């Protein structure tokens, strides 16, 4: 099969499209013929890109942990999905990802793809929808009428978080670089703050997608009683504020529910750009250069 792989640690310049063996589905897995895959730009910095769960070097690695495609085979003991079904979901960080013609995935991490949800939208959904849902509500406890600030709001997770919070009746302050201003206001942000310039208005919850200096500044100025949730690093909050770092969990029920809301037209995953698999390296490089709205997706197999 054709696969985007990385043999050497470092940036996206090391990604190559090449021939690789089709993976075998393990116990509880399905083998998926990939139609569209997506990725998180920072994947090449994750330890799990380089080693398996036992800590053994697993290079060359296939990136891209979001998939939409069709089941072509079942592993031993796999139940709940059948050959020929269209599915979408997250793939394991410690195993080869979906930037390839086939990927082996635990069936329980996938949901059935409704016919009306196209493969591009379905591939753009799992990481951003699950991360935003879990950050705002499971970890952040966001409630109607509260104010939320999203740091790094213009990318994949941020554009979805802004919409989820608005739909829940929260007021949203989008913190991003100036290129994302119109996009984020269009998605429902009430206030736009240029990350490098203005201070944060008073909010109940900060959702951080940047880390580093912007997160430190937010933690230093957020009001007593507020919560800071980050998916990048531990928030250095001061006394009487709550700080929480977490890693997204696959969840079929949450994904199904959010997929229904996308189909109902209530939420719109932002697919900023579509690249053929053969240009996977360019897709990663463009995201690293910045100013790419929402998710970038990789078209692997012609959509039916």
Ligand X SMILES: NC(=O)c1ccc[n+]([C@@H]2O[C@H](COP(=O)([O-])OP(=O)(O)OC[C@H]3O[C@@H](n4cnc5c(N)ncnc54)[C@H](OP(=O)(O)O)[C@@H]3O)[C@@H](O)[C@H]2O)c1
Select the span of 18-26, 36-44, 97-105, 259-267 touching ligand X (CB under 6 A).
Answer: 36-44
By CB under 6 A, tell whether 287 contacts ligand X: yes
Stretch 176-195: interaction string toward ligand X, x if CB under 6 A: xx-----------------x
Give SS3 for 74: strand
303 HSE (CA, 13 A, CB side): 16
* 133 interacts with ligand X by CB under 6 A: no
Per-residue x/- track, 244-283, ligand X (CB under 6 A): ---xx-----------------------------------
What is the smallest separation between the CB atom of 62 and ligand X, expressed in angstroms? 17
Q: How far apart are CA 18 and CA 6, in angstroms?
A: 10
Q: What is the CA radius of gyration of the chain?
A: 19
Q: Least CB distance from residue 285 to ligand X, whole Å? A: 12
**Pick from 31, 122, 203, 209: which binds ligand X (CB under 6 A)?**
209
Q: Which of 142, 209, 145 is nearest to 171 (CA)?
A: 145
Query: Any contact of residue 155 with ligand X (CB under 6 A)?
Result: yes
What minimum distance in Å lies between the beta carbon of 233 and ligand X? 9
Contacting ligand X (CB under 6 A), which of 210, 255, 262, 267? Answer: 210
Closest-CA residue to 156 (of 176, 172, 140)? 176
Beta strands in 197-292 (DSSP E): 205-208, 227-230, 242-245, 271-276
Judge contact between 107 and 29, C-beta under 8 A.
yes
User: Total residues at the site for ligand X (CB under 6 A)?
Assistant: 25
**Residue 152 or 280: which CB sits closer to ligand X?**
152
- Cβ-closest position to ligand X: 155
- Which of 23, 63, 140, 152 lies at the binding interface for ligand X (CB under 6 A)? 152
Beta strands in the chain (DSSP E): 2-6, 15-19, 29-38, 66-74, 86-90, 102-106, 110-112, 147-151, 171-176, 191-194, 205-208, 227-230, 242-245, 271-276, 295-299
- In the complex, the residues that contact ligand X under the rule CB under 6 A are 40-42, 127, 131, 152, 154-158, 176-177, 195, 209-210, 214, 231-232, 247-248, 287, 290-292
């Amino acid at each position: 099969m054709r696969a985007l792989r990385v043999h050497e640690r470092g940036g996206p310049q090391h990604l190559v499209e090449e021939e690789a063996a089709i993976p075998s589905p393990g116990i509880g897995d399905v083998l998926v013929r990939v139609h569209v895959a997506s990725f998180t730009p920072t994947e090449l910095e994750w330890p799990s890109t380089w080693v398996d769960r036992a800590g053994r070097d697993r290079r060359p690695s296939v990136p891209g942990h979001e998939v939409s495609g069709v089941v072509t085979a079942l592993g031993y003991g796999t139940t709940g999905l059948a050959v020929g079904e269209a599915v979408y979901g997250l793939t394991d960080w410690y195993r080869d990802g979906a930037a390839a013609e086939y990927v082996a995935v635990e069936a329980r991490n996938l949901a059935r793809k409704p016919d009306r949800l196209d493969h591009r939208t379905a591939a753009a959904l799992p990481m951003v929808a699950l991360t935003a849902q879990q950050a705002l509500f499971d970890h952040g406890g966001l409630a109607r009428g509260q104010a939320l600030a999203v740091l790094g709001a213009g990318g994949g997770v941020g554009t979805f978080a802004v919409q989820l919070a608005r739909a829940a009746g929260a007021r949203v302050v989008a913190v991003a670089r100036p290129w994302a201003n119109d996009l984020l206001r269009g998605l429902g942000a009430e206030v736009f703050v240029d990350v490098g310039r203005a201070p944060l208005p008073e909010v109940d919850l900060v959702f951080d997608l940047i880390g580093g200096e912007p997160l430190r500044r937010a933690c230093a100025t957020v009001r007593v009683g507020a919560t800071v949730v980050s998916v990048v690093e531990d928030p250095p909050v001061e006394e009487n504020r709550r700080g929480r770092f977490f890693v997204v969990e696959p969840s079929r029920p949450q994904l199904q529910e959010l997929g229904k809301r996308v189909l109902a037209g209530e939420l719109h995953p932002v697919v900023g750009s579509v690249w053929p698999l053969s240009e996977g390296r360019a897709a990663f490089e463009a995201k690293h250069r910045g100013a790419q709205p929402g998710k970038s997706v990789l078209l692997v197999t012609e959509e039916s």
